[in-house]
Structure 1
Amino acid sequence: MVLPVGTENFTIEFDYRERYDNFYFNLYDADDNPLITGEKLVYGVPLWNINDANLPSVTIIPLDETGVENTVSIDNFQISVFLYFEDLDPGIEDPDSDDIDENDTDNSDLLDDDNGSSLIEDEPSDDDNEYALPSDWGDEQ
């Protein structure tokens, strides 16, 4: 089966192992060179979760849009569980987009919880935790 991604074509094939009721995924480039072989299809887990310039840039996830299934098996693959391209609105993925709320003025904190407080404290003494280190901890006196 040919998988067109952008201007490139990849070949995909599936192997089924009856003993464990599992499907495995193989991916080949346009010249039939193997890129991924024997990757198990796991429900809800993206395929090839690695960074490699030779792999397609899209994320593909085995899912059931109805939410009924939670595994990939011979009974549901390509019946109710399909491979889906993760196709988020590009504005969601683009940090320079104009779709910013009032809590997103400083994007330097990647763990921003959008309520104005950071999950990472620069000063332990700013924490209300009674076990936090005092601000002068480590100062020589």
Structure 2
Amino acid sequence: MALRNYVPVDVENLPETFEYDLDGRTYLLTFKYNDEGDFFTVSFSLLDETLLVRDEKLVLDTPLFKGNPNPRLPATSLIPMDESGQATKCGIDEFMVSVFLFEDDLDPEDAAMPGPIDIDDDEEVD
């Protein structure tokens, strides 16, 4: 089960454009696939179709719009991630299988996995 919300993309029907709510604003997202390079891109627009970002490549573990100061972009980071940590790229075999475009709004302490539990054989259990 995923710890974060993710953007649901239908990779079988690309290009795909749909509305997505983030940070109290609705955006139009357009996803495309480049089969020669085995990568996905996303474009972000406002509902009036004002283009904010065109065809940004999804790169594993790299936030979208990094370094883009446009205040109309969402403040919440969107990051292609594999929460299991096993994927090495964000291609056709990984995206929407083990790699998802997550809203990275989870407190890092909440995302930490618990460590091993110490069991003391000397303690009695009621």
Shift of 1:6: 3.0
> Deviations along 1:45-72, whole A, 9 cap, x unmatched?
0001122111111100000011110200
Match of 1:23 in 2: 40
Shift of residue 7 of structure 1? 2.5
Corresponding residue of 2:55: 38
The number of residue pairs the alignment matches comes to 92
1:37-116 → structure 2 map (5 Å cutoff): 37-49=54-66, 50-89=68-107
SS at match of 2:70: coil
Structure 1 unaligned regions, length at least 5: 91-141
More contact order relative to length (CA 8 Å, sep ≥ 6): 2
| 1:8 shift after superposition | 1.1
Partner of 2:3: none
Aligned to 2:29: 12
* RMSD (Å) for aligned C-alpha atoms: 2.0
Letter in 2 for 1:75: D
List structure 1 runs of 4+ shifted beyond 6 angstroms: none
**TM-score, normalised by the number of residues in structure 1:** 0.60
Larger radius of gyration: 1
Partner amino acid, structure 1, of 2:52: L
Same amino acid, percent of matched pairs: 33
Deviations 1:103-136 (A, max 9, x none): xxxxxxxxxxxxxxxxxxxxxxxxxxxxxxxxxx
**What are the ranges of 5 or more consecutive residues in structure 2 without an aligned counterpart?**
1-17, 109-126
Aligned AA (1:68)? Q
User: Could you tell me how far apart the structure 2 residues matched to 1:14 and 1:71 are?
Assistant: 17
Q: Distance in 1 between matches of 2:30 and 2:59?
A: 16
